[in-house]
Amino acid sequence: MPPTFILALPTEVLAQILDHILGQIFFEQRFLRGPSTGIIAILLTCRQFYRLTLARLYRKLEFSHPATRKTNRLYRSLRSDSSLLLLVRSLHLVLQRYRTKAYTPIEDYAAAADVLSLFRGAQVHTLRIQGEVVWSPEDQKRFQSQSEPEQSISLGQWQILHYALRQLPALQRVELMGDVDGPCRRFGGRFDCRLQGYAELRALPGSDPTILSAVREEAHEGCAGVQPNPQKAHLREGQRLCRLTGIPYQQQDGAALQQTTTDGSVEFSLAFDELLKDGTPETPANVKIFYPWLQAHPHALRRMVFGAIPFYALGLEFRASTFPNLHTVVCPPFHVLSETHPRVYCRPAAAIDQLLGPTVRTFVWDLISYGEFWGPGFLGFDEPQARWLLAFAEGAVADEGKALRTIRIEFVPYIDWLGYVDPYDYPWDRMEQLKPKMRVLGIALEYNTPTYTREEYSRTCKEVRQMVESGQLPPLWDRV
C-alpha cells in the first residue's frame, strides 16, 4: 500500500484539523501567554496550509477601543493589503469592554467608524457592537447643537450601527450589547429578533449618523496622516487572493455598494446591561426607544431572555401573546417573584398570561447565571421551585391558547455556594422526580447533565462549608 500523506485528506477534514490546532494555540496565547510561533509554523508549512489558515485567521476579527497594540497592528495590516478584507466574515467592535465612569474620547469613537470604513462593500456577515458610549458634558453640549431636536446623542451604539449599514451590504446578523450579552450578573435582558430583510434593519430606531459624521470630522481635523476611507481592493488583489485561498472574487463597483445583498431575513440581537441598579441612565432611554418600536413590529421577536429589565418601572408591559413568532422565553426565578412578598412566587396563572402565548413552545428556567447576584435561595433547585413549575405547566396545558411543549431547567451549581446548601439535597434528584409528572401533562422536561455525582456533590458541599467556617474562604456576602 502506498504511503498516505496528510495533504491527501479532503479539504473539509484538513480544515477541521486546522480549526482544532488553531483553537489550542489561541487558548494558550490568551490564558497561558503562549508564543505566536505556532501560527507562523503552520503558515509556513505549505501552500495549502497557508491558504486554509489565512482564511481562518481573518474570518473573525475584533477591534478594541481605546486601541490596543493588537488592534493597531491589525488595522495597519488590513490597510496595507486590502485583499485580506475579502476573507473577513465577522466583526466585533468593542467600544467599552468593562463599564467605567470614564467618558468616551471622540478619537476612539471615530476610530471605530474608521474600522467600518475599511470594510466598505466587503462580505461581512456578522457585526457585534459592544459597550456603551458616554460623552463628556463638553462633547455632549457641542454635538447637541448639531443634532435634530428629538435626537438623543447618547445612543452611540445606534449611531455606529446606522453608519455600519451604509458600509456593510451583506450583513446577516447584528448584535448590540453592553458589558455582557447573556444572563449573568449585571445583565438586563436580550431581545433576539429576525427582521424581514435588510430594509427593516435600516428602519431600526435611532437616527442617521449625523453626530458620528461630526465626531469623525473633528477627530481627523489637522491629521494629515489619517485617511479613514482607504481605496477599495483592486481586481488584481482579488485575483491574487483567489490564487492564495481559492476564494472566488467579484469586483464591486460603486453602484453595487448602494444595494443590499441580503435577500433573506436578518438576525438582530439586542442585549441590555442591568438598568437602574448601577445607575446607567442611557440604558433605560435605549429600552424606551427600542421596545415601542418592537411592539410596532411584533413579528420580529423570536426569543426573549429576561434579566433585570424592570418593565413596569419603565412604564412598559411585556406580554408574549402579542408577538406572533416568539417561540422561546428564558426566565430567571426572580422575574416571577411577588412584588409584595420577596422570596414568594407569583401565581402561576399570572406568569402564564405574561410569558406564554400561542407560539411559545419552550420555557427556560434559568438558574445558572444569577446566583451570585440574587442570593443562595435562587441557586439550587428546591421544592418550592419544583411545585411552582409543575403548577405552571398544569395551567399552560389547561389553557387551549398556549403552545408550551418543553420546559428546560438551566442549572450548574457554583462551587462558592455549595457551603450554604444541604449537602444531602441532591438537586438533580428533584428534577428526575419532576420529569414523569411533566410527561403525563405532555410536557418534556429537560435539564443539564449533572456536573457532580451524588457523592461528589455531598463531599464538595461539606468541604466548602469547612473552608468558610475555618476562615480559608471569606463569607460569601463579603464577596458579592
Q: What's the rounded Cα separation, in Å, for the pair 105 and 254?
A: 32
For CA atoms 432, 438, 442, 446, give the dihedral sign. negative
User: Is a pLDDT exceeding 90 seen at residue 326?
Assistant: yes
- In tens, the pLDDT along 104-117 reads 777 777 888 888 88
Closest CA to 159 of 141, 176, 179: 176
Which of these ranges, 49-63, 270-284, 306-320, 442-456, has the smallest mean pLDDT? 270-284
Residue 241 has pLDDT above 80, yes or no: no
> What is the pLDDT, as a whole number, of residue 212?
63
pLDDT given at position 431: 96
pLDDT at 149 over 60: no
Please, what is the Cα angle at 420 between 343 and 277, to 5 degrees?
A: 50
Q: How confident is the model at residue 139 (pLDDT cuts 50, 70, 90)?
A: confident
Q: What is the pLDDT of residue 34?
A: 60
At residue 419, the pLDDT reads 74
Average pLDDT over residues 220-229: 44
Please determine, for residue 428, whether its predicted confidence score (pLDDT) is greater than 90: yes
Mean pLDDT over residues 289-307, rounded?
A: 91
Mean pLDDT of 288-314: 86
Q: What is the pLDDT of residue 442?
A: 96
Positive/negative CA dihedral, 79, 81, 86, 90? negative
Q: How far is CA 196 from CA 60, 76, 191, 204, 453, in A?
A: 25, 36, 16, 12, 47
pTM for this model (two decimals): 0.76
Q: Between 299 and 479, where is the model more confident?
A: 299
pLDDT at 219: 58
Average pLDDT, the chain: 76
Rounded to a whole number of angstroms, the distance between the first and last alpha carbons of the chain is 64
Q: In which band, very low, low, confident or very high, does the pLDDT at 214 lie, cut at 50, 70 and 90?
A: low
Q: Give the torsion sign (CA, 310, 315, 316, 317).
A: positive
Predicted confidence at residue 161, as pLDDT, reads 85
Q: Assess whether pLDDT exceeds 90 at residue 51.
A: no
DSSP letter assigned to residue 444: E
Closest to 22 (Cα-Cα) out of 44, 48, 54, 46: 54
For residue 37, count other CB atoms closer than 10 A to its CB: 9
pLDDT tens-digit readout, 376-418: 445 678 899 999 999 999 999 999 999 999 999 998 887 767 7
